[in-house]
Structure 1
Amino acid sequence: MSELLDLAGIFVFALSGALMGVRKRLDVVGMAVLAEITALGGGLVRDLILNVRPAAFQSLGYVLVPLAATVIVFFWHPHVARVMPAILVLDAAGLGLFCAVGTAKAMEYGLSPLHASLLGVTSAVGGGMLRDVLAGEIPTLLYDRQLYAVPALMGSAAMAGLASYGLHGWPATLAAAVLAFGLRIAAMRRNWRAPLARGAGE
C-alpha cells in the first residue's frame, strides 16, 4: 500500500516536471529528465544523506512511472494543462505524503527531530527545486510565495513530534500528511503568501 501511494505521488510530481519541459520547449528527452528529477530528486537526496540505497533503485516502477507521465504529457499536454487545478490538489497530497514519509524514515535512522524535519522537507520539495534549477527558474523554495515549503515543514515537524512521543505507523504518517495537505490547499484557495522583507516591492 505504501509503495502504491509513493508511486501515485511520483506520478503527479512527474506530470509537473514534464509540463515544465513543454513550457520550456524541450524535446521528449528533456521532458523525461525533468519528470524523473522532479519525481525522484527529493527522495534520492534524502536517501543519500541517510547513506542508504535510494528507493528509486530498488523498484522498476519508480523509474517507469515518471516515463509514463512523460508520454502522457508529450501527446496530451493541452488536456493535462486544462486539468491542472485537479493535479495541484493531487500535488498537495503528494507533498503531504512525501514530507511525512521522509521525516519518519529519517527518524528511523536516528536523526534528531529537527534534522528529520528538515530532511522531510527536502524529500517533499527537493525534486521541484532540482527541476527549477535545470529549467533555469528561480527555485520555488527560495521564494515561497505560495506557501509550498511551509506546509511541508509543518507536516514534517508534526511527524517528528509524533515519532518523538512513540507514535509511529500509518496513523501518525496520515495525520502529518493531512496537516501538510490541508495547509497547502488552504494556501491555494485563500491566496496565502509568505511575507516579503519590509519595504520590498511585490
Structure 2
Amino acid sequence: MASYVVNSVLNDSIRSIKSNQNDSKQKINWDDFNYPPLIKVIHYNIEEVQPEYRLVVRSLWLSSILIMAYTLLNIIDNSIQAGYGNDGIRILYSFMFLFSFNPIQLQNILHSQSFIFYRGYKGVVSDPYLLVLYKWVQIILILCWITFSIVDILGFNGFVVLSLLFEYLPFCGVLALFEDIIFLLIVFLSGFALFRIWKIKE
C-alpha cells in the first residue's frame, strides 16, 4: 500500500513537471521579434530557457557575438593591409565574411530556419527536431573555424602568417592574433554547446 502511494505521488509529480514544461513552451511567442537590439529579427529571451539549458544557450549566443566581432576586426585588419600594399581583394573577402558568417550564425533573412544560434536555441527550448541539422552544420563550421584560424588564404589571417605580419606590419599582426584567438574561443564555445546538446538530446 505504501509503495502504491509513493508511486502515485511520484507519477503525479512527473506529470505536473511535464505539464509545466509544455505550458512554458506554448507561452513562447516566436513571432515576437525582440533581438538583436534595434534590428529585431528573431525572438530571444534567456528567461524562457529551462535552467539546465541556459549555459548551452548562452554559449551559442556568445559565439554569435564573437563571429560579429571577428568579421568587423577582419575588415579593419585587411583594410589596413590593403593600404600598405597587400591585395585589395582582401577587403572584398572581408565583406563577404560579414554578410555570410553572421546570417549563418544568427538567422537567415526570411526568419524561417536559422542554423546555429537561433536553430540551437529554439531546438533546445521547444523543438528538438531542429537540432538534427544543427548538429551536423555545427560540426562542419567548427572544422572551418579551426582551419580559418590556421591558414593564410582569401581574407583569413591565420597563425601561419602572424610572424610575417609582426615583422612588417606589427599592428596588423596584433589584430590578426586577436582574430585567431576569437576563432579558437568560437570553437570552444561551439564545441561545448554541441557536446551538451548531443548528450542531452540523444
TM-score surpassing 0.5? Answer: no
**TM-score relative to the length of structure 2:** 0.34
Select the structure of larger CA radius of gyration: 2
Q: Which has the higher contact order (CA 8 A, sep 6+)?
A: 1
**TM-score relative to the length of structure 1:** 0.34
